[in-house]
Every structure is written in C-alpha cells, then in structure tokens.
Amino acid sequence: MKGRPRVATGGSVKGTTVVWGDYGLRMHDHHRRITAKQLKVAEDTIKQRLRGQKYRLYKRVNCNIGVFYSGNEMRMGKGKGSFDHWASRVAVNRIIFELRGAIHEQVVRDAFRLAGNKLPGQYEFVKKGDAPVVGITKLEDGLTLDDLKRARKPVAEVAAAVVVEQTNSEASASAPPS
C-alpha cells in the first residue's frame, strides 16, 4: 500500500512509561514512520554527547518493516519494487530511548534534546515514575484507564434526559400560543 501506514494509537498505555532506565525520550506529537538510519543517527548523537560517562542506553523501538520502492513514472504492475530501507512504525507517546546511569539530569536532557532534533517529530523528556499516556491523555491526578473507557454520563441519565426533552417539546408544541 502506498501512503502513510496506519499505527494503532489509542486504548493502551503500553510503551509510554520508562521501564528499565531512569530517563526517557518520548515522541508526543503524532504517529509516524522512523527509519533505521534516523534511529542510528539519534543513538550516535546521544553516545557522542555522553562520551566518557558511565551509562546504559536502551532502544525501545525496533526497525522491523521493510520499505520497498519502485521508480517514479512506472507503469502499473511489474511487481512490488526493490528493497530500499528498514523502518519502524512508532505510535504517539511511545518511548524511543531510555537511559540509566550516574549522570546529571541536565546532561541527559541535553543529549535527548540533540537526539530529538535528529528525529522526525516532536519529543519530550520523561523520568521514571511519570504518568503513562493513553492516546494524548496523561493518566495523572487519579485518572485511570477505566475512567476513559466509561461514558461521560451514565447511559440511563442520558436516556431519561432525552425523554424529558421530548415530552417538554411536545407539550409546548400542543399548547396554544399566548
């Protein structure tokens, strides 16, 4: 299929919190496809900024989708095209990198900022213990996943309100004008 591939973006908090490290880099604007080359450049940028420090870097995204291209102005048919590069579909608010080590927070923030500039999209710095995210909603201040799945108003109240509105409008329509 041509065009932007679909990425599941809602209903799950999987991959939105820091698990193994102390700090993380989280994409927070829109789901997109990131190539292996872009991830490698971002990883090298982090390593360059933290050179000489003791740390462990975790990549939470795996490039497991082959991208195939056929040339422009080709006639229809003639196969899928030739392999071009590896890519990964990254959902909104997914953690891309995690880092653990005895490093000052500001140094890690700077390294992740530089790496985020090399990647497509907008990224935010997160710490271990920050609230998970569902879609674009952070689950903080007592908000839970069940609260998001529940209707805003109970269904019985909504149905009763509709019935009351209908009877009021019928009564006002049948009443003579004053």
Instruction: Assign 8 a pLDDT band (cuts: 50, 70, 90).
Output: low
172 pLDDT more than 70: no
Residue 6 belongs to some domain of the structure: no
- Lowest average pLDDT, out of 6-10, 12-16, 33-37, 168-172, goes to 6-10
pLDDT, position 30: 80
User: Which pTM does this prediction carry?
Assistant: 0.74
23 pLDDT more than 90: yes
Q: CA–CA separation, 83 vs 11, rounded Å?
A: 33
Q: CA–CA separation, 111 vs 24, rounded Å?
A: 11
Share of the chain above pLDDT 90, in %: 49
Tokens of 34: 């990131």
Reduce the secondary structure of the chain to three states and give it as a string: CCCCCCCCCCCCCCCCCCCCCCEEEEECCCCEEEEHHHHHHHHHHHHHHCCCCCEEEEECCCCCEEEEECCCCCCCCCCCCEEEEEEEEECCCCEEEEEEECCCHHHHHHHHHHHHHHCCCCEEEEECCCCCEECCEECCCCCCHHHHHCCCCCHHHHHHHHHHHHHHHHHHHHCCCC
pLDDT, position 134: 82
Residue span of the structural domain in which 60 resides: 23-135
Residue 98 belongs to some domain of the structure: yes
167 pLDDT more than 90: no
Tokens of 37: 């080359």
Average pLDDT over residues 124-130: 94
Residue 124 belongs to some domain of the structure: yes
Residue 117 belongs to some domain of the structure: yes
The CATH number of residue 62's host domain is 3.90.1170.10
Residue 80 belongs to some domain of the structure: yes
Residue 62 belongs to some domain of the structure: yes
Instruction: Assign 102 a pLDDT band (cuts: 50, 70, 90).
Output: very high
Residue 127 belongs to some domain of the structure: yes
Total structural domains in the chain?
1
Span 58-98, pLDDT tens digits: 999 999 999 988 888 777 777 788 899 999 989 888 999 99
CA 48 to chain centre: 26
Distances (CA, A) of 106 to 53, 68, 112, 118: 14, 40, 10, 19
Average pLDDT over residues 146-175: 65
Residue 123 belongs to some domain of the structure: yes
